[in-house]
Amino acid sequence: MLKKFKNWLLQNEPPIQLNQQRKLSERVTLVQTEFRLTSTSDCYTLKIGTRQDISDLIKIEKLSYDGKAPWSKIAFEHEMSVNQNSIYLIIKNAAQEAVGFIGAWFVEGEAHITNVAVQPIYQRRGIGRLLITELKKIAISEKQTKMSLEVRKSNKNAQSLYHQLGFSDGKIKQSYYSDDHEDALEMALSLNE
């Protein structure tokens, strides 16, 4: 019976049309790639992440999250190889060492930040702000109308940065984080202005 159905389907249904649009990470071009942050005179380079950067992302995660990597190599590979709507921006120091990154999905008019991390010794230098600002520029160029994210309820430093960048508080997601079941605060920024 299954074979008959398969034969009927192949004869009577038009072939499935795959989305021919290029991946988000392939169609975006960065307007600016070299930055000098006001807090230091150091020069930084911004690039769009690829599979070759995954080990750097995991290293940054481990340095940022007490030796733990919330996202696995397999998860990053899926994001960079399969997910048509994902993008990663990576910032490197003058020695070309990756010091921070941001990842996002662009879906149905919303640029949702999935993860952001900066090596602890590079925090409070404006790198997180730069990553979010550059992602916002891309979101606007891609006609997204909103940016969103979840942040640990206890992470007041990150929340302060997001507020400075115009994000507003949303609802609390109970037991959002799988490792310790901490609550998450939803935050959002309108891009319609």
Residues serving a catalytic function are 150, 162
Q: What are the tokens at 49? A: 């992440």
Phi-psi region of 67 (alpha: psi -120 to 50; beta: other; left: phi over 0): left
Q: Which ranges of 13-84 would DSSP assign to H, the alpha helix? A: 24-27, 54-64, 73-81
46: enclosing H helix or E strand: strand 43-48
Asked if residue 146 lies in contact with residue 107, where contact means CB atoms within 8 angstroms, the answer is no
Work out the angle between the directed axes of helices 156-164 and 127-141 (0-180°, nearest 10): 50
